[in-house]
Structure 1
Amino acid sequence: MQAMDLLGMYPTFYVPGIGTGWVMGIIGVIHVVASHTSVGASFLFALIETRAYRRNEPQLMDFIKRYGLFLLIFSYVIGSITGPGIWYSITVASPRGVGGLIHNFVWVWAAEWVFFTVEVIGVYALVYLIGKVDARTHLKITWSFALASWTTMLLIVGILSFMMGPGSAAWYRTGSASDAFFSSNCFAQLGVRTGLMFVMASVVGLIVASRLPDADTRRGMVRFLALVGLAGGLFMALMSLFYVRTLPHNAIVLLDFRLLPDYARDLAAVLAVAALWLVFAWCRPDRVYTSLAVALFAFVAVAGVWPEERMRESMRKPYVAGRYIYGDQVIARDVPGKGIKEEVDRIARDGLLTLHPFVPDRLRTINDGNLLEAGQLLAKMACASCHALEPGAPLRDLPDEFHRATDEDLIAAYLRGPLRHGTQPYMPRIDLPEDEIRALAHYLAVDDSGRDVDRLIAQERRHALLARGKE
């Protein structure tokens, strides 16, 4: 087969036990907590310093310096580690998805890096120039830092919203970055994240404020942070209602039937605890102790951001970008503006094992000697971007999704029916030839039975080698 006949696929990256998605999710949640805290804190600094400048309250600058030093470690060191970590994990797990984003937004990303550079320089200048330049000049630095920080969020959110879908259907025809970027979902998501950044910055700020030496400054700062956090939370809740109205049909179905039943109570509990904590801080500022502030921050960061980010990532399924790249990296539709051709029908005709460039030659043709191994490879290529393969794994493991079924005919019927015809709105249309359906159903049935699949594959390969030797 000529190279030009193969699909532009990449090697499949799979993490056993937890699934690939959890690797991206863990790194991403840490990065979101650090980055949103940083952007929210930049505006807190600007507002507080404006007050200090206008009312001649230089003691407020002590809080800014303490919080700024904390940010340099918490947000910028952790963010600088997890940022490249996200790039690595998403590049190996979803290379075509990342490629789609880069090809559409290369100059937007370049602009974001420029603003991020201003942001990093700004936070260092803000912290280390306190008391070394005049107050008016320092205030300009602080506002520049805040605006650059928020602009990086604006640009990244525009790119993230394209993962849910392009801003205009005209993008499929024009391929224009402006048609891809601007959408109601983009601005709704920006509003949600803007509210969240103030909540996170306030909750983290209470840790810093609790350690201020002057009692009056500490009480005033705690109350100010509590009010900002409550206002940010209210704004986030209102924008969330707008955000839901911008979602496509598949996201609404997934939200109603899969995500809210799993996460609604947990998120409601986190919001209630966060609101009560901020109300308590405003009412009893003298009782905001460092240990309590740290515990509440950890609770909000872990129990709140993780399900929120997982829901946002899950809602765009079955797509990973632009509503044209499926989560399994297959191109779902033509995009004339980018010269992209749909691949589902071609896979249905020729087979994924035949068209994928990184399939070993021994598995391109299925027979009784490689049936299980071919089925495992098909599961990794077609399913592992959204599912774990091991029973009991945390990322929607396939054995439990099939209710531990061991009936090959039953599994094959699903592969030939809803999956082939794309009748489930949050599942990609995976149309495979009959021999690949048989191999995939065989692997899933054996895997669901709890048997040692790797041992059986090794056994299968030995038998095939022996049979070949006899020939």
Structure 2
Amino acid sequence: MDLIGLYPTWFEPGLGSGWVVGLIATAHVLFSHTAVGAAIFFAGLAVYANRTGKLEYLEFIRRYGLFLLVFSYVLGSITGPGIWYSTTVASPRGISALIHSFVWKWATEWVFFVIEVVGVYMLTYLATRLDAKTYLRIAVIFGLTSYTTMLVIVGILSFMMWPGQERWFTEGGYLNGFYGPNTFAQLGMRTAFMFTMTAVVGGIVAARFDDAAFKKAVLARLAWLGLASTAAGAAMLQWYLGTLPESAEVVMANRLPEHFAPTLLAVLGGVAAYFVVTLVRPRWLTPALASVATLAILVFGLWPEEVARESIRKPYVAGQYVYSNQIIGRDVPGMGIASEIPTIEAHGLLKTHVFTPEPLRTVTPENRLEVGRFLALTTCSNCHSLSDSGMRPLARYFGGSTDVPAIAEYLQAALATGATIYMPRVPLKDDEALALASYIASLAGPAPAVRTAQQTTRTER
């Protein structure tokens, strides 16, 4: 009998592993996108400063660059490895899928990131020590290398939603998996919103200038950049939504809260209003107010967007073949990958999972709840909390029911057949479904004793 190479499950009982990853990733998006947007903004501003002789803008670049060294490059260099660590333990097969498909792309991104880090140091510390021509070259190289890192990462993120070309499944090849309609739509959307973040965060630096006239001039440039990028981002968002697979549209219609779209529009309107205020009344802007605006974008803008993006690619975590619970749910001949669903269907999950504890490979009345908890950890906990708090508490999906047979019937009807599009297909055996149902029922309250058919027959005799 074949075993499937599932890893042990990382279980975070409070928030859930998905939210831990999401919190780290959302903060990293703010840091990284601001850095990339600022790099291109610096290049354009350096060109303008040298052509017009307004070299005071180089001082703004220097101060903003110094701020970014901590805000984006120190904090980003903490949250970046944090994403790698948390996703590796939460979704080892998802990360493996990305590495096997794009290892050289990632290596390229790291090379450009090194150039980017060197560039920001040079722009910050050599602003007044280099001739204008050399400084301008450094600014342009810094901007281009920063944007290249964005291009690489967006292609990989798009693959996580939907491989670029359908022939990737049969032929493989990183170009087939990397480039698709979703790639460029997402790149356009992120490009627009990264300038929005750059403009908001730049207000923290610009508000500290004592020269009122110069402060007004810098804030005007940031405000116009922010207004234009926010409007462009809203348009690009519509393009992005039009490139999503049908499964994502179903999930959006059924799983995202009704207030999601109005809230997103309200956030975009609030951001635009903030830029209008800084444009019309620049003296009102203080570092504290700009910091609050940055935090508001993080909490009300980036966090809901990242949660929604993670939700709409369900039930997959990568490439529409690795389920969120790490089971391979689809054949990918181009990569030599075979679905594990037939193996589970034939032998059950308990007998095929490498790390099933030996006493739990066979379900008995004595170990049923323990087996159910193991199955919940393995198949459910990547997306559902097993407590009352955290990420999508599992018990709430059954309305607090303690009817074990009814829950088991649903599990076998929905999960075994894949009828629920946003849930992984896991064809549990009868005793496995009963064990998982018993555990789910125990989360809502004391569950009634469950009799098997054999026990019922013996009692009647």
> TM-score band, normalised by the shorter chain?
over 0.9
Residue identity opposite 1:360 in structure 2: P
Residue identity opposite 1:322 in structure 2: G
Shift of 1:260: 4.7
Instruction: Report whether the alignment pairs 1:416 with 2:412.
Output: yes
Spell out, residue by residue over 1:287-329, the C-alpha distance to the aligned partner (whole angstroms, 9 max, x if none).
2122211111111122111001111111100001111111111
Moved more, 89-98 or 336-345: 336-345
Tell me the residue number matched to 1:120: 117
CA distance in structure 1 between the aligned counterparts of 2:444 and 2:313, rounded to whole angstroms: 28
Of residues 225, 229, 243, the one that matches 2:226 is 229
Mapping of residues 390-409 of structure 1, within 5 Å: 390-391=387-388, 393-409=389-405
Tell me the residue number matched to 2:455: none
Spell out, residue by residue over 1:131-182, the C-alpha distance to the aligned partner (whole angstroms, 9 max, x if none).
1110111011011111111110100000010001111111111110000000
Shift of 1:450: 6.9
CA distance in structure 1 between the aligned counterparts of 2:234 and 2:74, rounded to whole angstroms: 30
Of residues 354, 357, 365, the one that matches 2:354 is 357
CA distance in structure 2 between the aligned counterparts of 1:127 and 1:73, rounded to whole angstroms: 12
Name the SS for the 1:117 alignment partner.
Answer: helix
Of residues 36, 41, 50, the one that matches 1:44 is 41
Spell out, residue by residue over 1:323-346, the C-alpha distance to the aligned partner (whole angstroms, 9 max, x if none).
111111111111111111111121
Percent identity (aligned):
50
CA distance in structure 2 between the aligned counterparts of 1:384 and 1:259, rounded to whole angstroms: 19
Tell me the residue number matched to 2:425: 429
Of residues 14, 18, 21, the one that matches 1:24 is 21
CA distance in structure 1 between the aligned counterparts of 2:345 and 2:258, rounded to whole angstroms: 35
CA distance in structure 2 between the aligned counterparts of 1:31 and 1:228, rounded to whole angstroms: 22
Name the SS for the 1:162 alignment partner.
Answer: helix
CA distance in structure 1 between the aligned counterparts of 2:441 and 2:420, rounded to whole angstroms: 21
Mapping of residues 56-455 of structure 1, within 5 Å: 56-391=53-388, 393-449=389-445
CA distance in structure 2 between the aligned counterparts of 1:369 and 1:20, rounded to whole angstroms: 29
TM-score (norm 1): 0.93
Shift of 1:265: 3.0
Moved more, 74-83 or 249-258: 249-258
Shift of 1:269: 2.2
Shift of 1:361: 0.4
Shift of 1:394: 2.7
CA-based RMSD: 1.3
Shift of 1:348: 1.5
CA distance in structure 1 between the aligned counterparts of 2:231 and 2:390, rounded to whole angstroms: 32
Spell out, residue by residue over 1:192-229, the C-alpha distance to the aligned partner (whole angstroms, 9 max, x if none).
10011000000000111111122111100001100001
Shift of 1:268: 2.2
Structure 1 unpaired stretches of 5+: 457-471
Name the SS for the 2:99 alignment partner.
Answer: helix
CA distance in structure 2 between the aligned counterparts of 1:320 and 1:280, rounded to whole angstroms: 41
CA distance in structure 1 between the aligned counterparts of 2:410 and 2:259, rounded to whole angstroms: 24
Determine if contact 2:402/2:446 at 8 Å carries over to the other structure: no
TM-score (norm 2): 0.95
Shift of 1:262: 4.6
Residue identity opposite 1:358 in structure 2: F
Shift of 1:255: 1.1
Shift of 1:25: 0.5
CA distance in structure 1 between the aligned counterparts of 2:139 and 2:221, rounded to whole angstroms: 18
Between Structure 1 and Structure 2, how many residues are aligned? 448
Residue identity opposite 2:240 in structure 1: Y
